[in-house]
Amino acid sequence: MTGKREELLTHLREKLAKSGFFISDPHSIRSISFDIIARRDKQLLIIKALSNIDSLSPEDAEELRILATTLNGSPMVIGLHSGAGKLEDGILYSRFGIPIISESTFHEHILEGVPPFVYAAPGGLYVRLDGELIRRVREERNISLGMLAEIAGVSRKAIQMYESGMGAMIDIAARLEQFLNEPIVVPLNPFSYTSEVARTLKSFDEFKGLNRDVFEMLREIGYSVTPTIRCPFDALASERDLLLLTGVEEDPRMTARKARVVGNISRVTERKSVIFVQKETSVEAIEGTPLITRDELRRADDADDVLELILQREKRRKT
């Protein structure tokens, strides 16, 4: 155990004891998935302390999730830094579906009752919005979806998604809050853990580069994106009654192969399919599966623009 990690554990035990938690005894067992289990009334915390949060292994994360589900507790990693630098205070991070916060954030939340408001996710920093408050204020003041979308710099569909509970990037939330003059940003509870939250956080951890860019842009224009890890396609993107089998391919040599497999599955399931690619190609579709470039997706204002591209390329293939 490094000196910094040992010091971190000592601080955590002191803060938990001061906050009225009953704490498990220290142990010297190596390669164990947690360091502290603490209970206060019905609240059970399962804590892993790390100097560098990048050292959290998938195996430890999986065991933390199993313990949390079985014991009805909340898994948590308290860390000092990542490979990118010191953990920022007031921000909720995650690895493999496990919530992660800095020591200062833990201290403020446990001892002072000050929760974090910002969480790190693919594409940047986000906040949770009070969707019901946004909708109510907008309707009371006769503000149209279009006007609010213009103020925020997003699509009308994105505003509807915010009103339904989808998080927003910090700059978008700031513009909305300033215009509405209402406290629309709501706090986060790092100890509120469900298996659904874990699956969502974990699934996004698997993706980098073009995948993250594509999924983030799809979310921004109103799609609900569910990444799939062990499938020929990379995600399910849904909007109203439309479900897209979505593939992302950076290697041009693999595009045709992926498009054929995803297209075949889409025909069997009677769903539409699409492959997002890095650069423009000489073909717009492969065996029924349309290809859309990153730049074309970036220019889309809403979900309907993407659907129109898909329908156009399907139609051209059939003529």
Would you put residue 103 in left (φ > 0), alpha (ψ -120 to 50) or beta?
Answer: alpha
Cα dihedral sign, 57-33-91-202 = positive
In CATH, the number for domain 124-186 is: 1.10.260.40
pLDDT digits (tens, 9 = 90+) for 85-117: 899 999 999 888 889 999 999 998 888 888 888
Q: Which residue has the tokens 């809403």?
A: 302
E strands in 137-265: 168-169, 185-186, 224-227, 235-239, 242-249
Signed CA dihedral, 136, 156, 233, 235: sign only: negative
pLDDT in tens, 142-177: 999 999 999 998 888 889 888 887 888 899 999 999
Give the residue-averaged pLDDT of 19-40. Answer: 81
Which of 266, 216, 213 lies closest to 242, judged by CA?
Answer: 266
Question: Element (H or E) spanning 106, and its range?
Answer: helix 103-112
Asked whether the beta carbons of 285 and 318 are under 8 A apart, the reply is no
Look at 36-40, 263-267, 272-276, 284-288 and tell me which has the smallest mean pLDDT: 263-267
Helix-, strand-, coil-residue percentages of the chain, each rounded to 5:
45, 25, 30
**Four-residue CA torsion sign, 26, 32, 35, 40:** negative
Band of residue 138 on the pLDDT scale cut at 50, 70, 90: very high
Arithmetic mean of pLDDT, 191-210:
58
- Which position has the token pair 């898994």? 75
Cα atoms found within 13 Å of the Cα of residue 227, Cβ hemisphere only: 20
Q: Which of 19-33, 40-54, 80-94, 293-307 has the lowest mean pLDDT?
A: 19-33
Residue partners of 151: CB distance under 8 A and separation at least 6: 175, 176, 179
Q: How far is CA 250 from CA 209, 214, 284, in A?
A: 9, 11, 16
Q: What is the pLDDT of residue 202?
A: 55
- How confident is the model at residue 230, as a pLDDT? 55
Average pLDDT value over all residues in the chain: 84
Distance CA 130, CA 173 (A): 10
Tell me how far apart the alpha carbons of residues 305 and 230 are, in angstroms, rounded to a whole number.
Answer: 29
Domain 210-318, CATH = 3.40.1350.70
Copy the structure tokens of residue 142: 């006769």
- Fold classified for 3-114: Trna Endonuclease; Chain: A, domain 1 (3.40.1350)
2 phi, psi to nearest 5 deg: -70, 160
Domain ranges of the chain: 3-114, 124-186, 210-318
The answer to whether domain 3-114 and domain 210-318 are alike in fold is: yes
